[in-house]
Amino acid sequence: MSELRYSIATGDWVIFSKARARRPHDFVQSKKDAAALPEHSASCPFCPGNEAKSGASLFQLTDKGAWKVRSVPNTFPALSPDERIDRKTDGFYTSMGGFGHHEVIVESPRHNTSIALMSDGEVEDIIRVYLSRYITLQAVPGIEAVTIFKNHGPMAGCSMAHPHSQIVATPVVPPHLRGRIALAVNYYEINGSCVYCRMIEGELKAGTRILAETEKFIAFLPFASPFPFIVWILPRRHMSNFSDMDEAEIRDLARTLKHILGKLYRGLGDPDFNLTIRSCPAKAKENSFFHWYLIVIPRLSQPGGFEMGTMMPINTSMPEEGAEFLRQVK
């Protein structure tokens, strides 16, 4: 009554439990009791007129003197450019100063919107700010990796209602990304090709997990999805680093992302989710083995003791059924 699936790109085994299986409609969220947000909040530091509360813009896009998207320092940063970067070793123990950068990207002047509800042009502006700050931060001396992420809703760790994303530049490559790169290198050495490029070919051939096909991007629920309704968005062109996108790809990514988040919004009742861009570090910016991608993880389930103890997920939703459900959402 169960099936185990292996992901060659992530190295994960996932258990699909048919005995615990839930139909796609079972994951629809109910937010009828949630209070409607105002377009502007006097107490929100990200709303227009409250810029002094969030700090001076590090970068912004404007229209007729008003900002459309802005990047500001995080008020409670995980890392700081003022910290030292030197490492200390004491026997088995190694530490270093909390050097890095932590910014907030305010996605819109409107307090009560989200990417799923924005225009194509508004989402393009967000991607352009992502790209600008990514390029700037990965060039900072001492920075090894830059991570762009978005938390939407309290289950995803979001504490501010105003639509925003975050970007963190770290002096080390995060272990999760390091592991993905190692697997990609190993696959390339054995097969002479990018595992993500082969994944794109395989998903297009199978067709059952595809959510969107555009000229520049493909979106699908992976074969070994560790959680329900996870979506990967990959560029068709081999690119190891997020900064390699051209203008046509920026526009296409914006439309694809809005399309996918719109389907989740309408089909699953605006679920909480985490969004992350996984990209090769700047020092290995151009290579044949890694392929950057964007991942959306709806927070529709909680890991239990087995998952936490083994790091082997149990998914109660087959990705083929989830993809079919979302394809029907208008």
pLDDT, tens digit, 9 for 90 and up, residues 1-13: 799 999 999 999 9
Split at pLDDT 50, 70, 90, the class of 32 is low
In the prediction, which pLDDT does 202 show? 97
Split at pLDDT 50, 70, 90, the class of 19 is confident
Residue that wins the pLDDT comparison between 296 and 25: 296
Q: At which residue do the structure tokens 């890694």 appear?
A: 290
- pLDDT(18) > 90: no
Is the alpha carbon torsion for 291, 263, 216, 201 positive or negative?
positive
Residues 6+ apart with CB under 8 A from 252: 214, 215, 216, 217
Q: What three-state secondary structure class fits 60?
A: strand
236 membership: H or E segment, kind and range: none
Both tokens of residue 206? 């199978």
Both tokens of residue 81? 């450019």
- pLDDT(25) > 90: no
pLDDT digits over 252-268, tens only?
A: 999 999 999 999 999 99
Catalogue the active-site residues: 164
Is residue 271 a contact partner of residue 264, using CB atoms and an 8 Å limit? yes
- For domain 38-327, the CATH superfamily is HIT-like (3.30.428.10)
Question: Which DSSP state fits 241?
Answer: S
In the prediction, which pLDDT does 31 show? 67
In the prediction, which pLDDT does 236 show? 98
- pLDDT(22) > 90: no
Say how far apart CA 285 and CA 279 lie, in whole Å.
9
